[in-house]
Structure 1
Amino acid sequence: MRKFLLLLFAGFLLMSCTIKQDKNIKIIHDFYNVFSERKDIHKLMDFYSAHSIWEDGLLNSTLEGKDQIKSMYGWEDTNFKKHPNYSELVSLKSILANDSVVAVSGQYNPYYYNGNLIPETPFTSWFYLNEEGKIEKQIEWIQYSLNDLQEMINFKTNAKIH
């Protein structure tokens, strides 16, 4: 009887963890659906907590708070145009989750910026969610092209000199 109760408790515990993981995966799926539509920045920002942190792991840059994150997304920028062959801005390849962290791998699909074609760009993202299911911290590992990396390095170097 004791073993049965222990197994029953372990089963409930496992189901509880699975339910939380599934909930977190759904939250991030919904996040990327809104992101891919690129229509409602306010709806996208609702996924973030009031004091969210967004980091670019490769460039070692950090944004703090919804205002900085919203500005970074730049949805008002008229230079951005969706690629006609890609209805979604993002293609997700895999999502793994536990009770508070969701890891995503995928790619940003091609798009046009300032008339120039920007090719697909692979990425890995880590989302740290709070108890309410809001994003507390997001770390992006974007596989920038060599040209983009060089431009960003030059920009950072020049910004430090001036």
Structure 2
Amino acid sequence: MARYLTIFITLVLLWSCSSEKNDKDNIYPLAKHFFDTYSDRSDWEHFKQLYADDLVFEDVIFRYRFDRTGFENFYNWPDTLFQKHPEYPETLILENLTINDSTAIGSGYFTPFYYGEKLFGIDHQWRFVIELTFDKQGLVKHQKDFIEYPPEYLKSAAEALLKVEN
């Protein structure tokens, strides 16, 4: 009986180790595709399909917490005021990608871009850390953004929020 119990425990341990490796192996291509799509920033409809319906999105600096609809309004890629800089076809550069179970953490920086007529990102790199948690279907169910917004952007965003409140 002890022999069968030992075999059973060994099989369970082997399966759990294999399962963790498979989770990491499955998450890496999902996360890489997410950051590649974000970097290209050309297909909003496809980008939205990477998210679960029950998404929870957080922007730590702004202290925002949104559901999927709020996230789509916040990210708002169709906004024509945003324009890529002609010398920077990628909107972000991913420098590091760490995978753990169902979570991926990517870090890097945003490349220069125009918003309205104003150029952002030349004097200040907008560094980021984005944490993604994937569900069993491979969709992002939780995203937490840590973005190093430059002071002038924070000021203009705060002023816009104050106008909305008044």
> How far did residue 61 of structure 1 move?
0.9
Q: Which whole-Å CA distance do the structure 1 matches of 2:154 and 2:116 have between them? A: 18
**How many residue pairs end up in the alignment?**
160
| TM-score, normalization by structure 1 | 0.85
Whether the 8 Å CA contact 1:103–1:125 is kept in 2: the answer is yes
Whose Rg is larger? 2
Counterpart for residue 22 of structure 1: 25
1:12 CA displacement: 4.8
What is the alpha-carbon root mean square deviation over aligned residues? Answer: 2.3
Distance apart, 1:159 and its partner CA:
3.5
Specify every segment of 5 or more residues in structure 2 that has no aligned partner in the other structure, as ranges: none
- Which residue of the partner structure matches residue 129 of structure 2? 124
Post-superposition CA distance 1:104-144 (Å, at most 9, x none): 11111111111221103101111121111111111101101
Counterpart AA for 1:57: V
Match for residue 76 of structure 1? Answer: 78
**Structure 2 counterpart of 1:33:** 36
Identity %: 22
Find the counterpart in structure 2 of residue 150 from structure 1: 155
Q: Which runs of 5+ in 1 are unaligned?
A: none
Question: How far is the alpha carbon of 1:15 from its aligned partner?
Answer: 3.5
Spell out, residue by residue over 1:30-71, the C-alpha distance to the aligned partner (whole angstroms, 9 max, x if none).
Answer: 012122222221111111001112111111012212x33223
The answer on whether the counterparts of 2:38 and 2:91 sit within 8 Å (CA) in structure 1 is: yes
CA contact (8 A) 1:41 1:70 kept: no
Q: TM-score, normalised by structure 2?
A: 0.83
What's the counterpart of residue 95 of structure 1?
97
Q: How far apart are the structure 1 equivalents of 2:157 and 2:117? A: 20
